[in-house]
Amino acid sequence: MFEIRVKTSKRVESRDITDEIISAVQGKSGRILHIYTPHTTCGIVINEDADPHVMEDIMEALDRMVPRNYPYTHMEGNADAHIKSILTGCSVTVPFSDEAPALGTWQGIFLMEFDGPRERKVFITLV
Amino acid sequence: MFEIRVKTSKRVESRDITDEIISAVQGKSGRILHIYTPHTTCGIVINEDADPHVMEDIMEALDRMVPRNYPYTHMEGNADAHIKSILTGCSVTVPFSDEAPALGTWQGIFLMEFDGPRERKVFITLV
Amino acid sequence: MFEIRVKTSKRVESRDITDEIISAVQGKSGRILHIYTPHTTCGIVINEDADPHVMEDIMEALDRMVPRNYPYTHMEGNADAHIKSILTGCSVTVPFSDEAPALGTWQGIFLMEFDGPRERKVFITLV
């Protein structure tokens, strides 16, 4: 298990971490690559890393589905971030071959910050 | 693969199963831990296990996104539970090190019951 | 890693791929089975494969949560498909035992097409 740190700069932000992950596993071997964040108010997802508008639309859709202001019972002001984390999940698993994750042409791996800015840990495991 | 059973007591309920899982894998070794439920109307998620209000807000948000009463085509009265199961997923994968899952400080593993009360199976696999 | 191809015939469609997957891994051994699609506008999920109304309700609920027509910033007309892909995820992991995935009685594995018709790749990895 390797660990990388990701510093986010806004409350809500998608951070492309594909390059950091590819660097971390370079020259290694395995069959599947697991990317995990040990936090409860952010997520890890895979989607398009070509047009940044895709991630904008995804973040905006999550905001619409899970409004920030609502009479939540959790009183820390970040209940929306916990709910979004459930919808995205906190990990992804990617097939691994030829010393790299077998991502599709348009796929990138993103840390989804829902309650930043913070420094987030990401655990990378190759099996 | 180990199996544990979880008895739920309400139609909709989040059940913290972190301790059962940690006990089941104690003393074992592996790199990733996979938790899976073989049902179609419940889910497995990871999120905060400190303040129970977090899970209340998550369940309430899922109810708002997926109303129980709606002209669904599936006639068994639990279409909402199937849809919620898609949103949460039926498994999680966690890095494993030092004979325990590498959960974050605030993370717990939950069975999300969406169509209880029932007895649910949970499969635990260490790779 | 094996690869199978799935041809979809509509813009939005759920395709049961359970039989193709079971055939692909027959006689093989491993502990977990990973099913992955390298695309950004479809998903892979597990849910009921007995009553097809369940998948109809799931697709209709995703349409309601993520409308096709909305002032999205991504201009290719498929922003909704990217968002739905985030909600479902692009992979599932299933325990593997006795040379087959340990699916529950009602569980099947589905490719969720959100921007078809297309030919989709599915990567199958046994660990």
Could you read off the pLDDT of A55-101 as tens digits, one per residue? 999 999 999 999 999 999 999 999 999 999 999 999 999 999 989 99
Q: What is the pLDDT of residue A14?
A: 98
Instruction: Give A69 to chain B, closest Cα distance, Å.
Output: 12
Q: Is A30 on the interface with B (CB under 8 A)?
A: no
Using the beta-carbon criterion (under 8 Å), do B53 and A65 form an inter-chain contact? no
Whether chain C has a CB inside 8 Å of the CB on A126: the answer is no
**pLDDT at position A96:** 97
Q: Is C105 on the interface with B (CB under 8 A)?
A: yes
Report the predicted TM-score, pTM, of the whole model to 2 decimal places: 0.98
Confirm or reject contact between A104 and chain C (CB < 8 A): yes
Q: Domain boundaries in chain A?
A: 2-126
Q: Report pLDDT digits (tens) over C4-28.
A: 999 999 999 999 999 999 999 999 9
Chains that touch A (3 or more CB pairs under 8 A): B, C
What is the Cα–Cα distance from C52 to C38, expressed in whole angstroms?
A: 26
How many Å apart are CA C18 and CA C117, to the nearest integer? 20
Q: Check if A83 contacts B (Cβ < 8 Å).
A: yes
Q: How does the average pLDDT of chain A come out, rounded?
A: 97
- Phi, then psi, of B66 in degrees rounded to 5: -130, 85
d(CA C39, nearest CA chain A) in Å: 6
Across the interface, do A1 and B31 touch by the CB < 8 Å criterion? yes
Contact list, A38 vs chain B (CB under 8 Å): 102-105, 107
pLDDT value of position B103: 98
Buried b (16+ CB within 10 A) or exposed e, A24-55: bbeeeebbbbbbbbbbbbbbbbbbbbebebbb
Q: How many CB atoms lie within 10 A of CB C69?
A: 7
**Which residue type does A12 have?**
V
Q: What is the pLDDT of residues A103-123, one digit of tens each?
A: 999 999 999 999 999 999 999
pLDDT band at B53 (very low <50, low <70, confident <90, very high): very high
Any A CB within 8 A of C91 CB: yes
ipTM of model over 0.95 = yes
Mean of pLDDT values over C55-73? 98
* Domain A2-126 -> CATH class: mainly beta
pLDDT number for residue C124: 98
Q: Mean pLDDT throughout C83-111?
A: 97
Cβ of B79 within 8 Å of Cβ of C54? The answer is yes
What is the reported pLDDT for C86? Answer: 98
Categorize the per-residue pLDDT at A8 as very low, low, confident or very high, splitting at 50, 70 and 90: very high
pLDDT band at C32 (very low <50, low <70, confident <90, very high): very high
Both tokens assigned to A26: 């370079």
pLDDT computed for residue B92 by the predictor:
98
pLDDT at B117: 98
Give the minimum alpha-carbon distance from A125 to chain C in angstroms, rounded to a whole number: 13
